[in-house]
């Protein structure tokens, strides 16, 4: 089910993103024989990608694994906290740019606020400092759904940037993303709220 469609007048970047999304529907050897469903496809400007993410988190029943470069959107943070309160296992790994980067003297205030809200809600949050940039934008939901794309979990992604977001329904794909999430979480440091 597609929730956000390509506008009739779309940019070259949006066309490239649409082609990438269509390419995901082509069988690849690692997943051959297994149907992969594109649950949603969204673009900004024009689409409510934040709404798609919040809706998907709201459907979570067991687990949400988050891996994010920019993690500042209040609606997404609230949806994750609400999921935790419903009994969903929520775990987050973010890039260091959200709190304090070693190469920058100033913390990104909204990222530190989001990290603090998440940890005070009892959600484990780790900072990935191993890579120069931990640039993933991924959520794995209930072991069978993946949210990914260029869309950062931020207001800028929704309101100011040209971005894309895919929601893929497939256990094998979700398993691969969850394995990658665990690898990054394994070398990340637990965040200590100040």
pTM here is 0.78
Marked catalytic residue, from 142, 144, 170, 193:
142
Q: Is 27 left (phi over 0), alpha (psi -120 to 50) or beta?
A: beta
Where in 77-194 does DSSP place strands (E)? 89-95, 125-128, 137-141, 145-149, 163-169, 189-190
Around Cβ 62, how many Cβ atoms within 10 Å? 12
Give me the residue label for tokens 């990290």. Answer: 115
Marked catalytic residue, from 10, 78, 135, 144:
135
Note if 142 is an active site residue.
yes
pLDDT digits (tens, 9 = 90+) for 95-148: 776 665 544 544 555 556 778 788 899 999 988 877 766 678 999 999 999 999
Question: How far is the C-alpha of 171 from the C-alpha of 36, rounded, in Å?
Answer: 9
Marked catalytic residue, from 73, 137, 170, 184:
137
Note if 73 is an active site residue.
no
Where do the domains of the chain lie, and which CATH numbers do they carry?
A: 35-190 (3.30.870.10)
Note if 187 is an active site residue.
no
């Amino acid at each position: 089910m597609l929730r956000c469609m390509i506008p009739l007048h779309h940019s070259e970047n949006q066309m490239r993103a649409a082609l990438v999304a269509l390419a995901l529907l082509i069988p690849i050897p690692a997943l051959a024989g297994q149907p992969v469903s594109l649950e949603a496809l969204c673009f900004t400007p024009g689409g409510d990608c934040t709404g798609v993410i919040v809706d998907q988190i709201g459907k979570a029943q067991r687990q949400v694994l988050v891996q994010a470069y920019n993690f500042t959107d209040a609606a997404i943070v609230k949806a994750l906290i609400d999921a935790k309160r419903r009994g969903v296992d929520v775990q987050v790994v973010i890039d260091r740019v959200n709190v304090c980067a070693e190469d920058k003297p100033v913390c990104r205030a909204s990222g530190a606020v989001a990290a603090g809200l998440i940890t005070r809600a009892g959600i484990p949050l780790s900072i990935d400092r191993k890579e120069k940039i931990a640039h993933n934008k991924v959520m794995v939901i209930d072991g069978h759904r993946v949210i990914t794309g260029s869309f950062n979990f931020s207001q800028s992604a929704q309101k100011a940037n040209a971005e894309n977001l895919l929601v893929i329904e497939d256990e094998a794909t979700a398993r691969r993303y969850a394995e990658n999430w665990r690898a990054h979480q394994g070398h990340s440091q637990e965040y200590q709220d100040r």
